[in-house]
């Protein structure tokens, strides 16, 4: 079995092992260096319910990754392609398109956005009229028909929250030839 097929099988096994039905299993996708990418892995994670940024962040970290950080137009295009091709990640609420949370956090003191990983904040992709500048709009999700960024309160709940998030992993943190997605993949490895 090739490494890429094995990796895909491990990701599916890990997601299924996590208690999701196979129909809900969404594979992580590598943005290959040979395709102009960074070698990281990305997964658009839809949910049947809506949740806060904090819940999305905790779930991404529990998987061994972090909410996606987007540092240039190429990565933005890759992520947008991923979210538009993954069922359930983008939904329409009261006539407005709402997409996944990303790893952007507003500093409460400076009121400037930064990435949850501490990476430099050098690229933005705001929707028309965004950001609003309201201090209470402290997180970012994809929004609107163009699927650009919108600052929103991270603790919105219920239907005012978002239906998804995108998690990102650096390629292979321990150099074992398998993408690392946290303890769930470690459990899946023991099944082979």
The continuous run of DSSP H or E covering 55 comes out as helix 53-62
The continuous run of DSSP H or E covering 8 comes out as helix 3-17
pLDDT tens per residue across all 192 residues of the chain: 344 433 443 333 333 333 333 334 578 999 999 999 999 999 999 988 888 899 999 999 999 999 999 999 999 999 999 999 999 999 988 888 999 999 999 998 999 999 999 999 999 999 999 998 888 899 999 998 899 999 988 887 665 678 899 999 986 555 555 555 543 433 322 221
Query: Which pLDDT belongs to residue 18?
Result: 36
pTM reported for the whole predicted model:
0.77
Helix, strand or coil, per DSSP, at residue 33: helix
User: Which domains are present in the chain?
Assistant: 3-189 (3.10.100.10)
Query: Which pLDDT belongs to residue 186?
Result: 35
Task: Pick the closest to residue 107 from 99, 98, 116 (CA basis).
Answer: 116
d(CA 152, CA 138): 6
Structure tokens at 120: 């430099």
Query: Which pLDDT belongs to residue 159?
Result: 56
């Amino acid at each position: 079995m090739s490494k890429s097929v094995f990796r895909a099988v491990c990701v599916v096994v890990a997601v299924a092992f996590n208690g999701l039905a196979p129909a809900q299993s969404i594979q992580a996708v590598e943005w290959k260096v040979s395709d102009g990418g960074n070698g990281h892995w990305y997964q658009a994670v839809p949910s049947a319910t809506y949740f806060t940024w904090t819940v999305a962040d905790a779930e991404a970290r529990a998987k061994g990754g972090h909410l996606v950080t987007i540092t240039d137009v190429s990565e933005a295009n890759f992520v947008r392609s991923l979210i538009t091709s993954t069922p359930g990640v983008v939904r329409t609420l009261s006539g407005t398109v709402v997409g996944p949370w990303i790893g952007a956090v507003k500093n409460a003191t400076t009121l400037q956005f930064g990435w949850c990983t501490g990476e430099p904040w050098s690229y933005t992709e705001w929707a028309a009229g965004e950001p609003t500048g309201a201090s209470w709009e402290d997180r970012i999700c994809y929004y609107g028909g163009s699927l650009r960024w919108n600052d929103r309160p991270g603790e919105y709940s219920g239907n005012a929250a978002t239906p998804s998030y995108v998690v990102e992993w650096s390629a292979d943190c321990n150099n074992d030839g398998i993408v690392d997605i946290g303890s769930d993949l470690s459990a899946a490895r023991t099944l082979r």
